[in-house]
Amino acid sequence: MKTTYREAMRAALRDAMQRDERVFLMGEDVGRYGGSFAVSLGLLEEFGPERIRDTPLSESGFVGAGIGAALGGMRPVVEIMTVNFSLLALDQIINNAATLLHMSGGQFNVPIVIRMTTGAGRQLGAQHSHSLEGWYAHIPGLRILAPATLADARGMLWTALQDPDPVLIFEHGSLYNVAGELDDDAGAVEIDKAAVVRSGDGLTLITYGGTLPMVLEAAEQLAAEGIEADVIDLRTLRPLDEHTILDSVARTHRAVVVDEGWRSGSISAEIAARICEQAFFDLDAPVERVCSLEVPVPYAKHLEQAALPSVERVVAAARRAVGTNG
């Protein structure tokens, strides 16, 4: 079946709503407008305004209400337009969703799923372009998913809804229009393991979400130069599947981490640190990182592109790692 990332997301929502009447979608413009990224287009007509629930502009209020509804036995899917706006709901996500199970001594689960877009590349300026999923991956109590493929766009939601704990799903804005083949019977996928989406013994390229297509392109170019790469799609940023990373590095002895977040304190920093902690003697070269430059993402196209990871930068980092620089 030919589909898009957006349609796969929508199919996942529809499927979840049909399978479990406790599931409902709530967020700004998810209903009448059809979703600011058109993910929920048509669902209002299908499920009605109680379950496709438009909210006012009050991120903290409706995310908190989602947490309360989860405590009350529902299975809310809360959509936040972008990760940038989720900062207004940080208190609810971090101080409530992530902590209530622990603070209550195991009495209160918060089975909420919060979806939001992330990432840059569409000249929207700093306040619409940041990649902050790595920050959320810092928080114990949260599970952080970043579907990069059609199969994961289709399959992660249901698994997330079955998780008794809060799950945040980050959808990179550049992925919605990605089209491709998806099995007709595609459904839920597991969310515990990273995926090796391309194999090679030359080095390990580690990424997730919106940068996966770019990293695969870089891997193609490297292959043309005779450098075969393992490409790892992390899929889940917390809890991190470090086994897949360490297994690969043990074979390839070289690693490049590609992350659209800023380098300082990023998920790429965490991954590089774990490789150094646990696979130091496997390494034949320093771990390389390709991240966004440490600047608020600018508007002008050439500036924005220069700030973000690119195929060229990934290829250059890979060449440094394998020692074929220049």
Partner 1 sequence: MSTVRNQGVPDQEHALHLLRQMLRVRRLEEKCIELYSAAKIRGFLHVYIGEEAVAAGVMETLAPDDAVVATYREHGHALLRGVSAGAILAEMYGHAEGCCRGRGGSMHLFDADTRFYGGNAIVAGGLPLAVGLALADRMAGRQRVTVCFFGEGAVAEGEFHESMNLAALWQLPVLFCCENNLYAMGTALGRSESQTDIALKAAGYEISAWAVDGMDVLAVEEAARRAVDAVRSGGGPHFLELRTYRFRAHSMFDPELYREKTEVSRWMERDPISLLQGTMQAAGQLPEDTWATLTADVDAEISTAVGFAENGTPEPVSELMRFVYSDRAEHTGAGDGAGKEGAAG
Dihedral in degrees, nearest 10, Cα atoms 70, 138, 115, 106: -10
**Which is nearer to partner 1, 83 or 161 (by Cβ)?**
161
Q: State the number of binding residues for partner 1 (CB under 8 A).
A: 51
Helix%, strand%, coil% for the chain, nearest 5: 40, 20, 35
Continuous segment of H or E residues that includes residue 207: strand 203-207
Residues 6 or more apart whose CB falls under 8 angstroms from that of 21 comprise none
Of the candidate residues 33, 46, 48, 58, the single one contacting partner 1 (CB under 8 A): 58
Q: Indicate if 102 belongs to the active site.
A: no
Binding to partner 1 by residue 32, rule CB under 8 A?
A: no
Q: Could you say whether residue 180 binds partner 1 (CB under 8 A)? A: no
Using rule CB under 8 A, residue 63 touches partner 1? yes
128 annotated active-site? yes
* Options 19, 122, 243, 301; binder of partner 1; rule CB under 8 A: 19
Query: By CB under 8 A, which span of 6-14, 93-101, 217-225, 228-236 interacts with partner 1?
Result: 93-101
Q: Which stretch binds partner 1 (CB under 8 A): 29-37, 96-104, 227-235, 243-251?
A: 96-104
Instruction: By CB under 8 A, tell whether 74 contacts partner 1.
Output: yes
Asked if 12 touches partner 1 (CB under 8 A), the answer is: no
Taking the CA atoms of the chain, what radius of gyration do you get in angstroms? 20
Question: How many CB atoms are located within 10 Å of the residue 45 CB?
Answer: 10
**Strand locations in 112-199 (E):** 113-118, 143-145, 167-172, 179-181, 195-198
Using the rule CB under 8 A, which residue among 4, 14, 15, 22 binds partner 1?
22
79 contacts 44 by C-beta, under 8 angstroms: no
Stretch of residues binding partner 1 (CB under 8 A), selected from 6-14, 18-26, 221-229, 316-324: 18-26
Cα–Cα separations (whole angstroms), residue 256 to 88, 121, 211, 215, 229: 33, 22, 13, 10, 10
Interaction between residue 107 and partner 1 (CB under 8 A): yes
Provide the sign of the torsion angle of the four alpha carbons 26, 27, 31, 34, taken in this order. Answer: negative
State the amino acid at position 10 in one-letter form.
Answer: R
* Nearer to partner 1 (CB atom), residue 91 or residue 220: 91
Q: Which is nearer to partner 1, 135 or 158 (CB)?
A: 158
What does the binding site for partner 1 look like in residue numbers (CB under 8 A)? 19-20, 22-24, 50, 55-56, 58, 60-76, 91-92, 95-96, 100-109, 111, 140-141, 143, 158, 161-165, 239
